Amino acid sequence: MGLFSRVYVLSDFAEHLLRVVMMYLPAMVSNAVPLICRRYLFKNPHPIDFGINFRDGRRLFGDNKSIEGFISGVVAGTLIGLAYGHYMRSYEWVTYGFLSGLGAMSGDLLNSFVKRRLSMKPGQPFIPFDQISFVIGASILIKASGIDLAVNHELSFADFLTGLLLAGMLHPLTNYVAYLVGIKETPL
C-alpha cells in the first residue's frame, strides 16, 4: 500500500469517526447532562419511578433516575439538534436531537431497570451496558423513526458499531473526569 493510499484510508477513517461523533453527539450530551444537573441544579430530584417497586419487591429504577434528569437529558439532545438545524438550515435536526435524547434516556432507564432486577446497587458498574445503553436506545429511536434519512445522514450498522466502540472507550474516561471534579461519586 502506497503512501497516498494510506493517507486516503486514514482520511476515510477520520471522516467516518467525525460523522459518528456528529450523529451520536445529541445522545452523548443527553447522557451526561442529568449528572451535571443533579450536582448543580436539582438538589432534591424526584425519582422517575415515584418510589414504586416491581413485582420482585425492588424499585423499578431507583433514586438515581429522576424526572428532572430524564427531562434535562431530552432537552439537551433537542438543543444539540436545534444547533445542528440552525447551522445546516434543516430543522428536521431538532426532531433528530429530540429522538436521540429520548432514546438515550430510555436506554439508560432500561439499563437501570435490568440492574435492579439483578440486585445491583445504583452506581454499581454494569460493564459494558452502563457505557453503551444510551447509544442502543438512541439508535433504536433514530432508525425506527427514519429521522436519520430525513436529515440525509443514514445511520448505518457500521456507524452503530463505531458508536458502541466510541461510547465504550469514552464513557469510562468521562466518568473518571466527572469523579475527579466532584460531579460523580464513583470513578466508573
Domain boundaries, the chain: 3-180
* Rounded-to-integer distance, Cα 86 and Cα 16, Å: 23
Give the separation between CA 172 and CA 127, rounded to whole angstroms.
10
Output the pLDDT for position 12.
86
Q: How far apart are CA 126 and CA 32, in angstroms?
A: 17
pLDDT for 67 beyond 90 = yes
The more confidently predicted of residues 185 and 54 is 54
User: What is the model's pTM?
Assistant: 0.89
HEC sequence for 54-95: CCCCCECCCCCCEHHHHHHHHHHHHHHHHHHHHHHCCCHHHH
Can you give the pLDDT at residue 60?
Answer: 95
- Please check the confidence at residue 3 and state whether its pLDDT lies above 60: no
**Is pLDDT above 90 for 55?**
yes
Instruction: Judge whether residue 5 has pLDDT over 70.
Output: no
Return mean pLDDT, the chain.
91
Instruction: Using the predicted structure, report yes or no on whether residue 122 has a pLDDT greater than 90.
Output: no
- Go through 122-137 and write b for each residue having 16 or more CB atoms within 10 A of its CB, e for each that does not: eeeebeebbbbbbbbb
Section 85-107 average pLDDT: 97
